[in-house]
Amino acid sequence: MKVYFDNAATTRALPEVCDLMTNIYTQNYGNPSSVSIMGLEADNILKDSAKKLAPIINCGPEEIYFTSGGTESDNWAVFGTAKGYIRSGKHIITTKTEHPAILNPFKVLESEGWNVDYLDVDEKGYIDIKELSDTIRDDTVLVSIILINNETGTIQDAEKIGKAIKEKNKNTLFHLDAVQAFGKYKIDVKKWNVDMLSASGHKFNAPKGTGIFYMKKGLKVKPLLYGGGQQKNNRPGTENTAGAAAIAMAAEESYKDYDENTRKIRELKKHLFKGIKENISGVFINGDDFEKASPYVLNVGFENIRSEVLLHALEERSIFVSAGSACNSKKKVQSSVLEAMGKNDEQIQGSIRFSFSRFSTIEEADYVISALKEIVPVLRKFQRR
């Protein structure tokens, strides 16, 4: 049995999505900017895709831009705001538990002389909204918050955050990094006062290299790229029509049976943790409990285990998970998210992330439990003394 519980890293592309892309690549391959009928057809694919995506987050289709993925969208939000609003102020705010695609652009701006505040989180990963409100100043141009944390599944209260921002300073823009949330959580940019939002296709069964950037109409946020005027000159470059259609289809699919899927995966998450807890001593959850955190991420700490070793041992049984965050495992740095949540080195080093998709099954969870039951005692027996 092969179990892929690493869906927060990436997901498989759906076959019907790939079929749709093949069709577009081989049949409707016109350039949307071309004047011909082929160009028109391609342009219609883009428009239809935006129309399908817009209601999902409650915005207008003209507010949807197609990008290369989460990193580009995140970078656009930060650098585009900085460039467009530098006259309004040089203060920006984010949290200590952001994805590197937000943290690193913030660090770049910090090195260029911007005032930057990184908000603390509590032991479950939540920011203090009062602290956020107190941190916002007259010259604060941007607050960027991760909606669902990629490592722990902690969900920030975007509605309250949006309200707090706009009450304190109506000119401060609110960017929501929804890369882990889009496709798995209901989003409402109007109700939440969100000005910009980032999402990535490959996190919900569209292919890699596809992304969405929502930008509210009328903002002065500057583009990252300059070129031939495509996407209202905000994101030039010949549009990825196949990618746009793919991301729209995958998004629609992922919100079908939303309530049922959420319930099912929450049960699965509970089942997996219960199974682990009943069979293995010295385990704890990183993040909030089942009802509040995302059902799609379960971050478990194993005492006296090194997660990298556990990851390899699971891999020998065809079980694929992450230690910390997949983006970090190459660099051999430990999770700054867990650090910000107050975990000590040993707790961080023993933490494994299981992340699910709506296709995950209880049988897979049972297989993981039985593997852990065998592996963990052996690994604990042999360790550095």
Partner 1 sequence: MEKEKVLIVKYGEIAMRGNNRKLFVTKLVNAIRKNIDSEGDFYVVREQGRLIVESRKGEMDTERLIPKINRIFGILGVCPGIRLKDKNIENIEKAALEYFNKYRESEKTFKVLTKRSDKQYPMISNEVSAEIGAYILENCKDIKVDVHKPEMTLTVEIRNDAYIFSKFYEGCGGLPYGSSGKAVSLISGGIDSPVATWMMAKRGVEVSGVYFHSPPYTGERAKEKVKDLGRILSEYTGVFKLYSVPFTELQLYLLENVPEDKLTIFLKRAMMYAAQKIAYKEHADGLVTGESVGQVASQTMQGINAINAVCTMPVLRPLSGMDKQEIVDMARKIGTFETSILPYEDCCTIFVAKHPETRPKTSVINKIEKRLDKLQDIIDKAVDEAEIFEL
Point out which residues bind partner 1 (CB under 8 A): 308-313, 315-316, 330-332, 375, 379, 382-385
Question: Distance (Å, rounded) from C-alpha 352 to C-alpha 360?
Answer: 17
Nearer to partner 1, 256 or 332 (CB): 332
CA distances from 174 to 129, 147, 334 (A): 14, 12, 29
CB of 383 to partner 1, least distance (A): 8
Catalytic choice (124, 327, 328, 329): 327
CB of 355 to partner 1, least distance (A): 19
Nearer to partner 1, 144 or 349 (CB): 349
Residue 327 catalytic?
Answer: yes
- Find out whether 294 and 285 touch, Cβ atoms under 8 Å: no
Q: Return the residue matching tokens 């990825």.
A: 240
DSSP letter for each residue of 231-242: GGGTS-S---HH
Question: Distance (Å, rounded) from C-alpha 102 to C-alpha 78?
Answer: 7
3-state secondary structure of 261: helix
Structure tokens at 70: 């989460």
Question: Distance (Å, rounded) from C-alpha 155 to C-alpha 145?
Answer: 10
- Find out whether 78 and 209 touch, Cβ atoms under 8 Å: no
CB of 333 to partner 1, least distance (A): 9
Question: Distance (Å, rounded) from C-alpha 283 to C-alpha 150?
Answer: 20
- Find out whether 6 and 355 touch, Cβ atoms under 8 Å: yes
Nearer to partner 1, 333 or 362 (CB): 333
Half-sphere exposure of 345 (CA within 13 A, CB side): 1
Find all residues with CB under 8 Å of 10, minimum gap 6, and list them. 202, 203, 208, 326
Nearer to partner 1, 19 or 374 (CB): 374
CB of 69 to partner 1, least distance (A): 24
Structure tokens at 12: 């498989």
Nearer to partner 1, 107 or 317 (CB): 317
Nearer to partner 1, 130 or 384 (CB): 384
Indicate if the alpha-carbon torsion angle 344, 345, 346, 350 is positive or negative: positive
Nearer to partner 1, 225 or 309 (CB): 309
What DSSP character marks residue 203?
A: G
CB of 166 to partner 1, least distance (A): 44
Displacement of CA 9 from its chain's centroid (Å): 9
CB of 303 to partner 1, least distance (A): 18
Phi/psi of residue 141, nearest 5 degrees: -100, -20
Find all residues with CB under 8 Å of 15, minimum gap 6, and list them. none
CB of 370 to partner 1, least distance (A): 17
Displacement of CA 108 from its chain's centroid (Å): 21
User: Residues with catalytic annotation?
Assistant: 327
